[in-house]
């Protein structure tokens, strides 16, 4: 066993929480963030359950450096009661044996399934189960947007003592799935592997979880760290704040002695707006990183960027927001991590996005003649470009006092004019051939899956580019 990890046999087992029967009722009669009739996939069941117990908060033991070899120790305990949202195949024979446990994102002060939104088609195609865990306090307690405010009748009994307890709450959710107690949250499905995912703020939390809590808990078989920034989350601070004492330096790596696969997916926008370029590290037996050129932290995706229709302006942004199909790489990343966890076949490390100042706070992405980034995973939208797509900071068109707005994370898109398109593509077939070749290359290299490539190629064939 690697020297930096504590042997599981020497650590107390993660407590198994009490899990409720499926939750029903409330003023709204449905779970927050649940399926609508339009979004419910065929052959899937959604159930909300509460789980409760006593959670541990942790403190740092010794200094924490950027190498990620962090040691944590129990600090205090508190009772809690939070929720998990379970989505599983209705036919157990369709279940592929793998549960994705997502750390629900609370940046908007409400629980959001940021990874599920991008993974959904692959989850249902391949028969995964998915469990969203409300690990952080603001998702429960926020005055206007938390669960208690949204439906006091349904969620009034929930208790969250603070984000210091979020790490153990997340561990206990996984324990309930791996080794069910009196109530099985997956209703008897045979679980073979449990994979943790987290996007944006939740990815900040996962970095700290992987480096400091995984050696103590070991309840996950792999991790999907998606769109993190330069800073890892603190142990005691709320939301995105950093601990006041023994501050974690920017640029934290994933510890090199980790004993399960860690898949690290970052976009161009994560580097420009969040400093994720500072976290770059070389691949090792349990770590791989992919970087998506032309993609933003958040976007409104299109397979082919052309106008009309008009480009989306996001949540009231000054410029049209990024349109790269970030989600297609996420789906391929899930498939790659699953194969790694299940079969021991590690994915390749992607090329790095080219940066003029790779160690500076402002990384200055190297761009081609059309303003698109060089290096990284080469989307067809960049290899056969019809627009400039970047992860640069967008601005709010008209700010509203006291209202959160995340335009800075949405990147930008600017469609080429007719003259530029004509100079690139003398006819429609020229565009389709170049676009399709780029899509096929992504499938060959594992960065896209065939269904997404087929959708994209159909969109290119149906476009007006070159006509």
H, E, C per residue of the chain: CCCCCCCHHHCCCCCCCEECCCCCCCCCCCCCCCCCCCCCCCCEEEEEEEEEEEEEEEEECCCCCCCCCCCEEEEEEEEEEEEEEEEEECCHHHCCCEEEEEECECCCCCCECHHHHHHHHHHHHHCCEEEEECCCCHHHHCCCCCHHHHCHHHHCCCECCCHHHHHHHHHHHHHHHHCCCCCCCCCCCCCCEEEEEEECHHHHHHHHHHHHHHHHHCCCCEEEEECCCCCCCCCCCCCCCCCCCCCCCCCCCCCCCCCCCEEEEEEHHHHHHHCHHHHCCCCECCEEEEEECCCCCCCCCCCCCCCCCCCCCCCCECCCCCCCCHHHHHHHHHHHHHHHHHHCCCCCCCCCECECCCCCCCCCECECCCCCECECECCHHHHCCCEEEECCCCCECCCCCCCCCCHHHCCEEEECCHHHHHHHCCCHHHHHHHHHHHHHHHHHHCCCCHHHHHHHHHHHHHCCCCC
Q: How many CB atoms lie within 10 A of CB 159?
A: 14
CA dihedral of residues 158, 161, 163, 166 (deg, nearest 10) = -60
Give exposure, 225-235, as e/b (b: 16+ Cβ within 10 Å): bbbbbbbbbbb
Asked, for residue 271, whether it belongs to a domain, the answer is no
Q: Are 241 and 335 members of one domain?
A: no
**Residue 43 confidence (pLDDT):** 96
Asked, for residue 270, whether it belongs to a domain, the answer is no
Bridge partners of residue 396, in order along the sequence: 317
Residue 99 to residue 241: CA distance in whole angstroms: 30
**Residue 46 confidence (pLDDT):** 97
**Residue 6 confidence (pLDDT):** 33
State how far the alpha carbon of 202 is from the alpha carbons of 81, 91, 388, 460, in Å.
Answer: 19, 30, 29, 34
Q: Are 320 and 383 members of one domain?
A: yes
Q: How many CB atoms lie within 10 A of CB 345?
A: 9
What is the pTM (predicted TM-score) of this model?
0.95
Cα 419 to its chain centre, rounded Å, is: 38
**Residue 37 confidence (pLDDT):** 85
Residue 369 to residue 355: CA distance in whole angstroms: 16
Q: Are 131 and 245 members of one domain?
A: yes
Q: Are 189 and 301 members of one domain?
A: no
Asked, for residue 285, whether it belongs to a domain, the answer is no
Q: Are 392 and 444 members of one domain?
A: yes
- 444 by Cβ neighbours in 10 Å (0-12 / 13-18 / 19+) ranks as exposed
Total domain count, the chain: 2
**Residue 320 confidence (pLDDT):** 97
Total count of residues recorded for the chain: 467
How far from each other are the two terminal CA atoms of the chain, in whole angstroms?
A: 61
Q: Which of 217, 244, 260 is the last residue of a domain?
A: 260
Domain that holds residue 354: 295-467
Q: Are 191 and 311 members of one domain?
A: no
Q: Are 135 and 254 members of one domain?
A: yes
Give exposure, 13-27, as e/b (b: 16+ Cβ within 10 Å): ebbbbebbeebeebe
Asked, for residue 30, whether it belongs to a domain, the answer is yes
Residue 161 to residue 336: CA distance in whole angstroms: 36
Q: What is the CA radius of gyration of the chain?
A: 22
Q: Are 324 and 179 members of one domain?
A: no
Angle at 82 between CA 76 and CA 84, to 5 degrees: 130
Q: Are 46 and 139 members of one domain?
A: yes
**Residue 240 confidence (pLDDT):** 81
Asked, for residue 50, whether it belongs to a domain, the answer is yes
Residue 387 to residue 389: CA distance in whole angstroms: 6
Q: Are 216 and 348 members of one domain?
A: no
Asked, for residue 282, whether it belongs to a domain, the answer is no
pLDDT in tens, the chain (467 residues): 333 333 333 445 899 999 999 999 999 999 999 998 888 999 999 999 999 999 999 999 998 999 999 999 999 999 999 999 999 999 999 999 999 999 999 999 999 999 999 999 999 999 999 999 999 999 999 999 999 999 999 999 999 999 999 999 999 999 999 999 999 999 999 999 999 999 999 999 999 999 999 999 999 999 999 999 999 999 998 888 888 888 888 999 999 999 999 999 999 999 999 999 999 999 999 999 999 999 999 999 999 999 999 999 999 999 999 999 999 999 999 999 999 999 999 999 999 999 998 888 888 999 999 999 999 999 999 999 999 999 999 999 987 777 788 999 999 999 999 999 999 999 999 999 999 999 999 999 999 999 999 999 999 999 999 99
Cα 119 to its chain centre, rounded Å, is: 9
Q: Are 178 and 314 members of one domain?
A: no
Contact (Cβ atoms closer than 8 angstroms) between residue 326 and residue 299: yes
Residue 239 to residue 129: CA distance in whole angstroms: 27
Asked, for residue 287, whether it belongs to a domain, the answer is no
Residue 213: which residues within 8 A CB-CB, separation 6 or more? 58, 72, 167, 168, 171
Asked, for residue 44, whether it belongs to a domain, the answer is yes
Contact (Cβ atoms closer than 8 angstroms) between residue 140 and residue 158: yes
Q: Are 314 and 238 members of one domain?
A: no
């Amino acid at each position: 066993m690697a020297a930096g990890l504590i042997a599981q046999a020497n650590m107390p087992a993660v407590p198994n929480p009490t899990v409720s029967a499926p939750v029903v009722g409330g003023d709204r009669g449905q779970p927050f963030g649940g399926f609508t009739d339009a979004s419910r996939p065929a052959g899937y069941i959604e159930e909300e359950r509460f789980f409760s117990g006593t959670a541990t908060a942790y403190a740092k033991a010794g200094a924490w450096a950027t190498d990620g070899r962090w040691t944590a120790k129990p600090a205090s305990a508190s009772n809690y009661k939070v929720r998990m949202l379970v989505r599983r195949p209705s036919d157990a024979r369709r279940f592929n044996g793998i549960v994705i446990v997502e750390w629900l994102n609370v940046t908007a002060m409400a629980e959001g399934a940021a990874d599920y939104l991008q993974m959904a088609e692959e989850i249902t195609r391949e028969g995964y189960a998915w469990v969203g865990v409300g690990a952080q306090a603001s998702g429960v307690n926020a005055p206007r947007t938390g669960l208690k405010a949204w439906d006091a009748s349904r969620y009034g009994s929930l208790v969250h003592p603070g984000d210091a307890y979020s790490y153990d709450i997340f561990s206990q959710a996984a324990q309930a799935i791996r080794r069910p107690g009196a109530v099985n949250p997956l209703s008897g499905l045979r679980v073979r592997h449990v994979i943790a995912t987290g996007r944006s703020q939740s990815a900040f939390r996962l970095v700290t979880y992987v480096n400091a809590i995984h050696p103590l808990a070991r309840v996950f078989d792999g991790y999907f760290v998606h769109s993190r920034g330069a800073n890892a989350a603190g142990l005691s601070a709320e939301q995105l704040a950093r601990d006041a004492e023994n501050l974690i330096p920017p640029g934290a790596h994933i510890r090199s002695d980790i004993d399960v696969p860690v898949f690290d997916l970052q976009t161009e926008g994560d580097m420009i707006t969040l400093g994720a370029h500072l976290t770059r590290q070389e691949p090792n037996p349990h770590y791989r990183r992919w970087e998506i050129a032309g993609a933003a932290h958040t976007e409104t995706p299109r397979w082919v960027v052309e106008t009309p229709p008009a480009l989306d302006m996001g949540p009231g942004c000054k410029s049209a927001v990024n349109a790269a199909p970030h989600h297609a790489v996420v789906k391929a990343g899930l498939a790659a991590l699953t194969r790694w966890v299940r079969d021991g076949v590690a994915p390749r490390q992607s090329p790095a996005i080219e940066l003029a100042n790779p160690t500076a706070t402002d990384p200055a992405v190297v761009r081609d003649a059309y303003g698109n980034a060089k290096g990284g995973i080469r989307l067809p939208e960049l290899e056969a470009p019809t627009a400039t797509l970047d992860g640069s900071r967008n601005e709010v068109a008209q700010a509203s006092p006291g209202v959160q707005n995340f335009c800075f994370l949405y990147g930008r898109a600017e469609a080429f004019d007719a003259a530029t398109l004509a100079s690139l593509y003398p006819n429609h077939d020229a565009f389709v051939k170049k676009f399709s070749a780029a899509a096929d290359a992504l499938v060959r290299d594992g960065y896209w899956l065939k269904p997404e490539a087929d959708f994209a190629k159909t969109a290119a064939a149906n476009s007006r580019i070159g006509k």
